[in-house]
Amino acid sequence: MLPKKRVVITGLGVISPLGNDISSCWDNLLKGKSGIDYIDRFDVTALSAKISAQVRDFVPTDYLGRKDARRMDRFVQFACAAARQAAEDSKLEINQDNADRVGVWIGTGIGGLETFEKQHKILLKKGPNGVGPFLIPMMICNMASGQVSIMLGARGPNSCTVTACAAGTNSIGDAFRIIQNDEADVMITGGAEASITPLGVGGFCAMRALSTNNDDPQGASRPFDAQRDGFVMGEGAGIVILEEMGHALERGAKIYAELAGYGTMGDGYHIVQPDPEGNGAAKAFTRAFKDAGITPEQVDYINAHGTSTSINDAVETKAIKKALGDHANQVAVSSTKSMTGHMLGAAGGLECIAAALCCQYNMIPPTINYQNPDPVCDLDYVPNQAREKTVNVAVSDSLGFGGHNAVLVLKKNMNR
């Protein structure tokens, strides 16, 4: 049996509530800046949650032609922008000779919800003949991958993983497998989401999943804190360029980190609640460690799912303890969602980027708003201030509605 091909991260791109480029986003993560504020894109009078982590100052035509941008939902615009950034960061050139060996795999949790809402209003007003011809190609979940491949000319494996809040992490893991299996040399992958809409926020409000701490927007997302009361919706895109290591070294590409392992398991428990014992998540950690060829004791940092919901944070803590044993108490664990809000299907993309940058710079972003310890959440959550720490192995995990658990293991680039 041939050894697995090694995979590295050579490009990063982000559109986020903390900035629309890697430098701004990373700087704000380390500063512990919150990207959460009052929703100003639509009337929130009737909603119990009036806050979100919106992407601001985003101009689609900075990345796309005006005509193309008009024919894309906001989540696709985000994906294209972040993908273009990542490709430029990687200095990736796609041409006739290599296009079939460059693929795209971008996940989303919900897809083109804004387009759906707008076209539904037209349906009610004008009837079915008034619905626009771009409704379907703008709202379907796979169109982020499709449009990125068209924009960049990538003709390799092209797909999309839709696993709710785990979609970004699953997509990166699935793209990782494509390269390991020698089906591509390069994969453009991550997640994108744009569901801060009346229907999106209204739906999560109806589930009582969102924080209603409307008087303190920047303090509302408080993962692992005893007074957490729900997550705050975010949006954006996080895209990475994955590359077979030999291919990257041959062309002299910059390497941020090695993507060394991927594990995914299902809870088989409930449509929105995680397994209360954290068994599925713990097994996903364990599988990822095995795939990466590491022991739990080698893990230096975990970028946690950390949504700021009561059940999720407690279950995730339990899963980390099960997977890491006694070493769980020695690992730095932080939730960047305390600053970005929950970017749903885009979360895993941005959080993989954060983990890669931790390996690159030996700095760990904090969990902000951590003020009241919870007895059931008793790990080292890097409270309120960034921490300097050698990070040789970083882990990023995601848990999605439907019982989807996904874990990535990254290693410091030793080829620098």
pLDDT of residue 354: 98
Q: Does residue 398 belong to any structural domain of this protein?
A: yes
Buried b (16+ CB within 10 A) or exposed e, 107-138: bbbbbbbbbbebbeeeeeeeeeeeeeeebebb
Q: Are residues 141 and 276 in the same domain?
A: no
pLDDT tens, per residue, the chain with 416 residues: 677 899 999 999 999 999 999 999 999 999 999 999 999 999 999 999 999 999 999 999 999 999 999 999 999 999 999 999 999 999 999 999 999 999 999 999 999 999 999 999 999 999 999 999 999 999 999 999 999 999 999 999 999 999 999 999 999 999 999 999 999 999 999 999 999 999 999 999 999 999 999 999 999 999 999 999 999 999 999 999 999 999 999 999 999 999 999 999 999 999 999 999 999 999 999 999 999 999 999 999 999 999 999 999 999 999 999 999 999 999 999 999 999 999 999 999 999 999 999 999 999 999 999 999 999 999 999 999 999 999 999 999 999 999 999 999 999 987 65
Q: Does residue 414 belong to any structural domain of this protein?
A: no
Q: Are residues 148 and 244 in the same domain?
A: yes
Q: Are residues 65 and 211 in the same domain?
A: yes
pLDDT of residue 3: 78
Q: Does residue 390 belong to any structural domain of this protein?
A: yes
Which CATH number fits the domain that encloses residue 331? Answer: 3.40.47.10
Structural domain including 154 reads 7-250
Q: Does residue 63 belong to any structural domain of this protein?
A: yes
Q: Are residues 367 and 227 in the same domain?
A: no
- Which residues does the annotation mark as catalytic? 165, 305, 342
Q: Are residues 190 and 290 in the same domain?
A: no
Residue 376: phi and psi, rounded to 5, are: -90, -5
The gap between the terminal CA atoms of the chain, to the nearest Å, is 29
Q: Does residue 256 belong to any structural domain of this protein?
A: no
Q: Are residues 192 and 83 in the same domain?
A: yes
Closest to 235 in 3D by CA, of 49, 47, 36, 50: 36
CA dist 48 and 232 (Å) reads 12
Q: Are residues 266 and 174 in the same domain?
A: no
* Cβ atoms within 10 Å, residue 46: 9
Number of domains present in the structure of the chain: 2
Domain boundary among 184, 215, 250: 250
Q: Are residues 88 and 155 in the same domain?
A: yes
Q: Are residues 200 and 225 in the same domain?
A: yes
Residue 12: phi and psi, rounded to 5, are: -135, 140
